[in-house]
Amino acid sequence: MKTIARPAFAETEEKKSRFLAELVFHDDLAKRIDELRALHPKANHHVNAYRYLNDEEQLIEHGKDDGEPSGTSGIPCLKVLQGRDLINVAVIVTRYFGGTKLGTGGLVRAYSGAANAVCDVAEIIEYIPQGEAELFAEFSDAGTLEQACAEDRITILDRQFDTDGTRIKITGPRERLAELSVQFPMPE
């Protein structure tokens, strides 16, 4: 599976209709659609599709036509995300109608073309499952723990000191967190 390093944007045109495509993190989808509706009040549609893993690691995916004929926009965008094996992302395609009807086949081609265009310019990276862990080290091992937490892709969320040692809450790649949890287990 893959995901994006950062949001991306691309614009396409089909028979004078403009298609503004954005690839964003799934967590930002609702906020970004609200922003796009405010930025583009004259746009006709804000079609979207998303794929993400929920807390139980189940794949949730959906495409929304936003007023376009059923199945002509959201599902074609979703199929692009599926074909590229993207996860925890959403594509939003804002359409400005150009005066010429595209027909159902034309809409499918235009929306999937816009989704492909934004995927082509996005920085696609490997998806690495993330998680959180709480670690503990006695003061004599606190430096080693701090060094381990200074690695790339690990973020310290909280740090507490007490009479026994230091407790650190971190987020990062699940595999690495499991290793660190064995090395620096929380006291019982």
Q: Are 154 and 121 in the same domain?
A: no
Q: Give dist(CA 111, CA 14) in Å, integer.
A: 10
* Residue 137: predicted pLDDT: 92
Q: Are 82 and 137 in the same domain?
A: no
Q: Are 11 and 69 in the same domain?
A: yes
154: in domain = yes
Nearest-CA neighbor of 78 among 111, 116, 49, 45?
Answer: 49
Nearest-CA neighbor of 16 among 90, 91, 96?
Answer: 96
Domain of residue 155, residue span: 130-183
Residues 173, 131, 176, 134: is their CA dihedral positive or negative?
positive
Average pLDDT over the chain, rounded to an integer: 94
Q: Are 106 and 154 in the same domain?
A: no
Q: Are 91 and 46 in the same domain?
A: yes
161: in domain = yes
CATH number at residue 23: 3.30.230.30
Q: Are 99 and 6 in the same domain?
A: yes
Residue 151 pLDDT level (bands cut at 50, 70, 90): confident
Residue 13 pLDDT level (bands cut at 50, 70, 90): very high
* Residue 173: predicted pLDDT: 92
Q: Are 158 and 96 in the same domain?
A: no
89: in domain = yes
* Residue 142: predicted pLDDT: 87
Cβ atoms of residues 101 and 91 within 8 Å:
no
- Measured in degrees and rounded to the nearest 5, phi and psi for residue 70 equal -50, 130
188: in domain = no
CA angle 95, 98, 102 (to 5 degrees): 80
Q: Are 58 and 115 in the same domain?
A: yes
Split into its structural domains, the chain has a count of: 2
Q: Are 111 and 140 in the same domain?
A: no
Q: Are 115 and 148 in the same domain?
A: no
155: in domain = yes
Q: What is the pTM of this model?
A: 0.79
Q: Are 45 and 115 in the same domain?
A: yes
Average pLDDT over residues 121-148: 91
Residue 111 pLDDT level (bands cut at 50, 70, 90): very high
pLDDT tens digits along 80-103: 999 999 999 999 999 999 889 999
Nearest-CA neighbor of 167 among 175, 158, 178?
Answer: 158
Q: Are 109 and 149 in the same domain?
A: no
Cβ neighbours around 58 below 10 Å, total: 8
